């Protein structure tokens, strides 16, 4: 079965305003959180007044943290925008250089990775696959963990807005994506959510 996988990829893009401005400065962007239309960049240390003014004059918002560091928020670059709107979940993102980025993704079916790589390539982002890790190695069995299908459905439901206050997709549409019946999807989701809630409650029992 073409189950879910954790994938690490690298892309080259030239439209990140933050990296363009701070690329030659002695500051470190250690983490990037990708949102729907914008991304937050975590900068370690403090910004010089000149650099902070450069960011603000470019329409980039800065949010100082109580501890040492600062969040810098701007419109997502082409890579972040594409991946943020895909059916993959971005686990983490970090810059390698001014123009290179690495992303760790949770891909619902591994086969979907081909679409992601093609989409990034069509945007001229020169994607490279650095690592692929199957989440369900052969012969692994555990009644306490989600099955491949359950995890696939949860990822798709989350990404497509099934759990949003204003639901953006239906169970029928999710079932169609996985090529199963709506009743099967409903049962899968019910069993998956039960396991997630049970694990969540068990965590608090073991960590009072």
Sequence-ordered list of residues with C-beta below 8 angstroms from that of 100, at least 6 positions apart, any chain = 10, 11, 12
Quick: pLDDT tens for 145-168.
788 888 889 988 988 889 988 888
Residues of the chain above pLDDT 90, percent: 32
**Which two tokens mark 5?**
């996988």
Phi, psi of 138 (to 5 degrees): -55, 145
pLDDT, tens digit, 9 for 90 and up, residues 34-86: 876 889 998 887 778 888 888 888 888 888 877 667 888 898 999 999 998 88
| Residues 186, 174 contacting (CB under 8 angstroms) | no
């Amino acid at each position: 079965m073409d189950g879910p996988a954790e994938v690490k990829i690298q892309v080259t893009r030239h439209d990140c305003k933050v990296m363009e401005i701070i690329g030659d400065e002695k500051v470190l962007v250690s983490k990037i959180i990708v949102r729907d239309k914008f991304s937050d960049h975590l900068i370690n240390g403090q910004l010089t007044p000149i650099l902070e003014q450069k960011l603000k004059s470019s329409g980039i918002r800065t949010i100082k943290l109580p501890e040492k560091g600062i969040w810098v928020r701007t419109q997502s670059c082409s890579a972040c925008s594409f991946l943020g709107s895909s059916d993959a979940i971005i686990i983490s993102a970090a810059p390698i250089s001014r123009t290179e980025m690495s992303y760790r993704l949770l891909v619902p079916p591994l086969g979907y990775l081909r679409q992601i790589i093609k989409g990034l390539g069509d945007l001229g982002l020169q994607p490279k696959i650095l690592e692929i890790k199957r989440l369900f190695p052969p012969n692994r069995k555990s009644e306490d963990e989600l099955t491949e299908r359950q995890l696939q459905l949860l990822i798709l439901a989350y990404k497509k807005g099934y759990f949003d206050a204003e639901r953006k997709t239906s169970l029928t549409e999710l079932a169609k994506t996985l090529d199963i019946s709506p009743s099967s999807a409903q049962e899968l989701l019910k069993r998956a959510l039960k396991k997630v809630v049970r694990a969540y409650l068990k965590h608090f029992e073991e960590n009072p």
